[in-house]
Amino acid sequence: MPRMDLQEILTMRGNEQKSDLLAIDDISDKLSEIVDWAIRIKNDEEALYDFKPLDGMSVGSIYEKPSTRTRVSFEVGVNRLGGQPITLLSSDLQLGKSETIADTAAVLSRYLDCITYRCFGHNDILELARHSTVPVINALSDLHHPCQAAADMMTIVENSDRVNGHVAWVGDGNNVLHDLALGCAILGMDIKYATPEGLEPDPEIIIRAQKIAEKSGSTIQGCNSAEDAVTDAGVIYTDVFVSMGEEHLDDKMSSFDGFQVNEELVAKADRDYLFMHCLPAHRGDEVTDGVIDSQNSVVFDQAENRMWAQMSLLTLLCNEAAWETYWELR
């Protein structure tokens, strides 16, 4: 990219209209471009030094749950884009305690140019977004994980030349599956998920995904058999069986007998399948060392892509003019 064009981009700032990212289908019309944009900047060494679309902006990240990938990827990503990352732990705030979420949103909007929120209840981020005057990004809630889905789609697209078959999900019907199904539907990828009986994904979210899939020409299927889901799959994806905040559900683990992603199970997939996991992994529970450490595993590429995908999202939501200009100049 010519240096003059980059300097022109630096003068652009802010969006005329606020947009939020609470679920991956909030950006369904741009998801393909968001992914391609992230892949391009990941491989654009010149832009990594000169492109600072968040220059002069501050991005605050609220964490109700501990985090490794989310916190580091947002802090480093915002910094690389020229912005100032501010991390706010739940112990630092009065959020929902002595100060309402609405009031917190109003106050933070006076200081920040964007808010990311990693929370337990999805209704809390809906409330925050409703009362914020700056973009709000869902960094994880109990219903949705759009940043993870953007990174997942990026990882699959990067490896599209070796993916021969559908995306298979094996495990809990959780927030990661929700946005994975939506993301696959948006990009026209077939997905088949296997969950234990009684732990299926939210039916309303699956209906949303199916409506999108009808337009994109992809399929979404659910079952209760891990073997059925992974047979001839091009991607096998799993997650922890018991999520953070569910540790009190003592009997939940027993529901996942037969759902471990191991060498016997992956033998039913395409030979060049991708193994994906949003991490952290509980080795020996949902996946064996032999699978997660195999040549088919892309889990660390997937983790890195959290940063690149979020950089694309942050630029789009905070400085769309710069995002569009960089996209047009590619």
Residues noted as catalytic: 118, 145, 148, 239, 278, 306
Q: Which of 24, 36, 274 is nearest to 156 (CA)?
A: 274
SS3 166: coil
CA–CA separation, 254 vs 152, rounded Å?
Answer: 28
CA atoms within 13 A on the CB side of 5: 14
> What are 11-17's contacts with CB under 8 Å, separation 24+?
12/53, 12/319, 12/321, 12/322, 12/325, 13/55, 13/56, 13/57, 13/319, 14/113, 14/318, 14/319, 15/135, 15/317, 15/318, 15/319, 15/320, 15/321
DSSP 30-68: THHHHHHHHHHHHT-HHHHHH--TTTT-EEEEEESS--S
197 vs 142, 181, 250, 256, CA distance in Å? Answer: 19, 18, 17, 10
